[in-house]
Amino acid sequence: MIKAPPVEQIIQAESLNFWTENFGNQKNPALILIMGVAGQGIMWSDSFCNQLSKNFFVIRYDHRDVGQSSHINYMAKPYGLRDLSDDVIRILDAYNIQKAHLVGTSMGGYLAQLCMQRAPERLLSVTLIMSTIDFSPISKAMIGTLAAKCLFYDKISQAC
C-alpha cells in the first residue's frame, strides 16, 4: 500500500493563520496533536504521525506566535491559554470536523483540558502527556517555598 504524503494547509480563522499538516484518511476519526509552549507542530515526528495515521486522520499545527502560524504583537493584542484552546476548536472548524481525539503534551495537555471544559461536545477523548492541572507544587519547589519533605513524590499530595 502506498502511503500518501502529509498535506500542509494554512487555516484562516478570524484574523489568524495557522500552519497545519494532516496525515491519513479524512474518513478516519480525527486526532489533533497539541504541542507544548513554543513547540512547533513538527516536533510531533513524521514517523509518529504516520503510525497514528493508520487509524486516525492526524492533524499537527503551530500555535500562534510559533513557527509558520501568525505572529502577533502581544503588547497590542494580548492573549491567554483560553484563546489558545479556542484555536484548537478553530482548526477543527476549518477542517469541518465535529468531534476529535485530542493529544496534548505539556502546555498542550493543559489546552486539551481547557477544550474539554469549554467544548466537551467536540471531543471523543483527551490524552495528556507530561501535563498537569496544578503547577503550584512545582512552582513552589522551584522558588524554594515548598518544604523539603514535600519533594518526595509519595508525600506531595498529603503534606503539601
Tens digit of each residue's pLDDT, the chain (160 residues): 556 789 999 999 989 999 999 999 999 999 999 999 999 999 999 999 999 999 999 999 999 999 999 999 999 999 999 999 999 999 999 999 999 999 999 999 999 999 999 999 999 999 999 887 666 666 666 566 655 444 444 444 444 4
- What integer pLDDT is reported at residue 131 of this predicted model? 85
Strands 16-23 and 100-105: unpaired
CA 138 to chain centre: 21
- What integer pLDDT is reported at residue 158 of this predicted model? 47
- What integer pLDDT is reported at residue 157 of this predicted model? 47
**Domain 7-129 CATH superfamily:** Alpha/Beta hydrolase fold, catalytic domain (3.40.50.1820)
HEC sequence for the chain: CCCCCCEEEEEEECCEEEEEEEECCCCCCEEEEECCCCCCHHHCCHHHHHHHCCCCEEEEECCCCCCCCCCCCCCCCCCCHHHHHHHHHHHHHHCCCCCEEEEEECHHHHHHHHHHHHCHHHEEEEEEECCCCCCHHHHHHHHCCCCHHHHCHHHHHHHC
Domain borders along the chain are 7-129, 133-160
- What integer pLDDT is reported at residue 132 of this predicted model? 73
Give the separation between CA 26 and CA 37, rounded to whole angstroms.
27
Strands 57-61 and 7-13: unpaired
The amino acid at residue 35 is M
Q: What is the pTM of this model?
A: 0.82
